[in-house]
Amino acid sequence: MKKKKPYLGPLLLAWCDQCNVPLAKRVRCGRCGGQTRPVNVAPPGDARPAFETDRKQIIDSISKQYDRKVAEQLVPADKIILLNAIPDIDCCEEVIVDGQIIGLHRFRIETLSWEFVPKLEGARRLVQLTKNKQVVIEDSAVKFIVGGANLLRPGVKTADSSISSGDYVIGVTEQGEAILVGIAAMTGRDMQRQGRGMVIRKRYKGEPHPAHILPGSQIWKDVLEANSELLERLEKEAITFIQKTAHEYRFQKVVAFSGGKDSLAVLVLVQKALPNQSFHVMFIDTGIEFPETVENVYSTVAHFDLENQLLVKNVGKDQFFRVLDLYGFVARDYRVCCKTLKLGPTSQLIEEHFPDGCLSFIGQRRYESHRRSASRRIWKNPWVPKQIGASPIHNWTAMMIWLYIFQEPVSYNPLYEKGFERLGCMFCPASTMSELMVIADHCPLEWQRWQSNAEKVAKKYGMSEKYLTHGFWRWKTHPLKIRELAQNMEIELPSIDPNRTGETLSFVLGSKDQYEENLIRGEFNEPIDLNRAVAFLPALGKVILDLERNMIELSITKKDEQIKAYLFESGHFSLSGPVMKKDAVKFARTVLRGLLCTACGTCQSLCANGAISIDTGQGRIIEENCIQCEDCLRGKCPSLYAY
């Protein structure tokens, strides 16, 4: 079954061949007035500028296959270069020069290194610069190759003897025109011997024609001029949206500013749309932010003279590692870190300053992910119940964002020029391995602390060094391609216990006692801290904490009958009375809620009765305020939400 392409919105990128500059949308060039053509990028089509660090990294990758002089000519310094991320097992970006995709810059998890994969346009340029990695195809075989066949040994006229099996190679006609790019199935020497066998497994093929090379000497000022009318229309529409939304929702106005490019664009737009500083700026310092990000937040706020409007929530530098210790590895499908370090603290900050709620302008874009493409432009997040989110840039591409920032007198986060494509928390499981390696190089002390803690988690659960080093910790339930990669690399993936919460605690239930029909027993896999375990049990019934007997007694009323639950410090527990399995599961998960609580504040924001306190560094029910509605138990707790 063919995989569906990730179309998150229209593919908008275009190019003016006359000026040799990109257009963020296919409109007439604002510089020369000429027509533009679409660039056939792969979806989602969220292309971005290549900074000098990106260009040097691509040159380094090409230099492994060719010499450096060839690489520097293929990715020239005097032309505008774009990168377009496409779905792959890790980071993979189309390299766009002269409005043509010359190849893919791809990171390989197996080798933890980059490679450059030429596409046909890149191959056509390479054959003008070097004879390396080329296979000359017999004229009689050309029509079959162009028609889609792999190259077999009888079709080879000559081959570069330096070719190794597995290299990306270029198939050329006897006239020297590139028609094929693929992977060598044998060495160059073997290709020239008599016999049969596959020579090149094709990746790209096409009719022979010249490379589409345009004159250079472009700068970003030229690109801004070409896109000037488009940027003016985008700004006008976004400002109108902000003003209309602010009028419709009569709450306090907030800009959620993270120090990244998208939230920066939103801040610029809002300060133009809402004069007289009639809004606040909200920043959540998760404790694992990059120093440059924190510095950029404060300098940007000062630039706009908004220091008195800035609201900051400092989560603390140790909170992430506490989460790691309690839950084990956070993952793309177990984003407990996001809930405890960002969304929960956001709810606390809003509750503190805007108890009646707020309207937050957020830098969320449809081109970022399937989830965000399905989101409306105005929405509510169940994790932050007192916030209405609105995105003025919902339909903007990354190119639109960057061009808008380039034209404004504001400084963006310098990390973008140091090899970071996206910015967020350090050690985020959504990061690619290529991003994590940049972090390791850029922040050695922080990375050393992460590595030390990660090694403890990996050792505790029998995960191999390769499992950790190659980033397999970033999933709880591994996708098919990742499972296949692990198998090829001989890496064992751990199995998932469905009753496990995080990686530290789990529980098992026995069947009903054979001698006592109304009795269910169970146990946790390790001893219990009763003072923490009792925190949320008042939501179920009347609680007695008996530290002399090292136990908790809970009385639950069910249809005018009583269920008695007992939990012992050893981890054993039992429930008796008109009890069913679902009652025992609810009891055990409520205990886990207290044991694994990180005081993120999510449940506090969901309680309409003010019955939850987090002042002691742990969520805890205030019994006299609790009406046992169990809303806090039905609400999403970060420690439990993955299941």
3 state SS of 270: helix
**Dihedral, 572, 578, 581, 585 alpha carbons, nearest 10:** -60
**pLDDT score, position 639:** 64
**pLDDT score, position 515:** 53
337 shares its domain with 236: yes
Does residue 503 contact residue 328 with C-beta atoms inside 8 Å? yes
Last residue of a domain, one of 418, 440, 474: 418
Domain annotation covers residue 231: yes
236 shares its domain with 383: yes
Domain annotation covers residue 382: yes
Last residue of a domain, one of 143, 174, 205: 205
**pLDDT score, position 579:** 87
194 shares its domain with 272: no
Domain annotation covers residue 26: no
154 shares its domain with 274: no
Residue 263, Cβ neighbours under 10 Å: how many? 23
Domain annotation covers residue 383: yes
183 shares its domain with 242: no
* Pairing mode, strands 100-108 and 151-152: unpaired
**pLDDT score, position 314:** 94
**pLDDT score, position 34:** 95
341 shares its domain with 405: yes
CA separation for the pair 410, 433 (Å, rounded): 31
Residues 6+ positions from 554 with CB-CB distance below 8 Å: 537, 540, 541, 542, 543, 544, 564, 565, 566, 567, 587
372 shares its domain with 402: yes
Tokens 């990294």 belong to 57
Domain annotation covers residue 585: yes
231 shares its domain with 162: no
**What's this model's pTM, rounded to 2 decimal places?**
0.89
| Token representation of residue 217 | 């000497």
- 187: domain CATH number? 2.30.130.10
Tell me the mean pLDDT per 10 residues along the chain, length 643. Answer: 66 97 96 96 96 97 94 97 96 98 97 96 96 95 92 92 94 96 94 86 93 96 98 98 95 96 98 90 95 96 96 92 86 85 90 94 92 87 89 97 97 94 90 94 94 91 92 91 95 66 66 66 88 91 90 88 92 90 90 85 79 82 88 70 43
Please give the helix or strand (H or E) that residue 237 lies within, else none.
Answer: helix 228-248
381 shares its domain with 511: no
**pLDDT score, position 642:** 41
| Token representation of residue 164 | 């190794």
| Token representation of residue 261 | 């490019």
Domain annotation covers residue 386: yes
Domain annotation covers residue 534: yes
Domain annotation covers residue 97: yes
Find, among 259, 436, 437, 428, the residue nearest to 335 by Cα: 428
Q: What are phi and psi of 433, to 5 degrees?
A: -65, -35
CA separation for the pair 428, 335 (Å, rounded): 9
Q: 640: burial class by Cβ within 10 Å (0-12, 13-18, 19+)?
A: middle
Find, among 413, 276, 417, 260, the residue nearest to 342 by Cα: 260
Please give the helix or strand (H or E) that residue 387 lies within, else none.
Answer: strand 384-390
243 shares its domain with 124: no
Domain encompassing residue 62: 47-205
Does residue 522 contact residue 511 with C-beta atoms inside 8 Å? no
178 shares its domain with 259: no
**pLDDT score, position 496:** 56
551 shares its domain with 414: no
Count: domains in the chain:
3
Size of the chain, expressed as the number of residues it contains: 643
**pLDDT score, position 168:** 95
Does residue 129 contact residue 75 with C-beta atoms inside 8 Å? no
3 state SS of 312: strand
| Token representation of residue 458 | 């990996």
Tokens 């030229």 belong to 222
CA separation for the pair 79, 219 (Å, rounded): 7
